[in-house]
Amino acid sequence: MAVGLLVSGTALVWFSWGVEWNELMAELRAIRVAWVVLAALILLGEFAIRTMRWQVLLRPLGMRARLRDLFAAQVIGAAANILLPLRAGEIAKPLVAARRTKNPIAAVFATSVMERVYDLLGMVFVLVLMVTVLPRSDASLPESERILVSNLKLYGSLLGLAATAAMVTFFALATRRVAARRTFAMLAGIAPAPLRDRLMRLFDGFVAGLGNTRDPKGLAQAGLLSILLWFNGAVAIWCLFKAFSMILPFGAACFTGVAIALTVALPQAPGFVGVFHLAIEKTLVLWGQPVQRAKGFAIVFWAISFLPVLTVGLGAMWREGLSLRSLRHAPKTPPPKQQP
């Protein structure tokens, strides 16, 4: 928590240091509100897509869950992630889902692994789309733009290859469980007994979360929903470009979406304040946008990314009879053991 506060505080000071308030306010007054509202609605729709994907991931585990129950768990988890430290929403979400669906929390918790795997798939899609739609780096472009396009294509391709390799590894573990567990047990054998047992529990929970790989239809459905999820985020960013009258290619929206995903994974204070803003500013400056416009975009994008879902999540939390205190001290149930 201390590291997160330090990182966020440093980033917030850095972001605020160069603010020219008159210019910033002029940029905010000039935005087209209709595009902002559309972007906010698209971003809120992300949680509906995540809910449908979660329902698919629960199916191989023999769990039937209504979409409205899973949606409530999604938005409550998102609200907890915004307001509480240490990604408390990752515990709150399965807790609420288990309570609503009458399923064991450990089994619900295991599907979080598969959600991250499918998020990798969506990120790969967005990176491929970015590389595809970026303009060709030909002599007609200024030298700075040629360098930018070339670097984005290079590093986007490398990141996409790394994510693809990770997905292949995950699915290999899911399809060759006995051999994978035996190999992992040999590697974990060098650790002290308490740590070794914990590592094996983590491994078993990880593999349990890959249960969707036994359902080819579910595999395809979850994959398509993941692609739609990440495309949805890129469209929202593109709409916000329109709100700020930024003339940028759709590839810039894809790149910004990936930058955000990597940014929110860093240790930081609740609310993603500071790091989120600084990352968006530097990303847009990289695309040649004026600094004050980039700062204004970062502020508005943070607001529409978190405030609507926070409002919906707190409302769902109230209806559920939960409080932030109860979620903060929720039992951190470990993933279930799985026999090889």
Candidates 90, 156, 163; CA nearest to 120 is: 163
Candidates 266, 259, 255, 303; CA nearest to 10 is: 266
Any alpha helices (H) in 18-32, and if so which ranges? Answer: 21-29
Distance CA 87, CA 89 (A): 5
Which CA distances in Å does 7 have to 11, 118, 264, 266, 291?
6, 28, 12, 9, 21
Torsion sign across C-alpha atoms 260, 264, 268, 269: positive
Residue linked to tokens 């979080």: 112
What pLDDT was estimated at residue 335? 44
Candidates 329, 215, 269; CA nearest to 223 is: 215
What pLDDT was estimated at residue 201? 75
Distance CA 178, CA 340 (A): 5
Could you tell me the maximum CA-CA distance found in the chain, to the nearest angstrom? 64
Torsion sign across C-alpha atoms 92, 93, 99, 103: negative
Domain boundaries of the chain, sorted by first residue:
2-328
pLDDT 10s per residue in the chain (340 long)? 777 778 888 888 889 888 899 999 999 999 999 999 999 999 999 999 999 999 988 887 777 788 999 999 999 999 988 888 767 788 888 888 888 888 777 778 777 777 877 888 888 888 888 877 776 665 555 666 667 767 777 777 777 777 777 767 766 666 677 777 788 788 788 888 778 887 787 677 666 656 555 667 777 888 899 999 999 999 999 999 999 999 988 988 988 998 888 887 777 778 888 889 998 998 898 888 999 999 999 999 999 999 999 999 999 988 888 777 766 665 554 444 444 4
Distance CA 185, CA 72 (A): 38
CA dihedral 317, 272, 90, 212 (to 10 degrees): 120
CA dihedral 281, 283, 287, 293 (to 10 degrees): -10
Q: How many helices (H) and strands (E) does the chain have?
A: 14, 0
Per-residue tokens: 304? 């529409």
What pLDDT was estimated at residue 146? 67
Residues 149/141, Cβ–Cβ less than 8 Å: yes
Question: DSSP for 128-196?
Answer: HHHHHHSPP--TTS-HHHHHHHHHHHHHHHHHHHHHHHHHHHHHHHHHSHHHHHHHHHHHHTTS-HHHH
Distance CA 216, CA 305 (A): 33
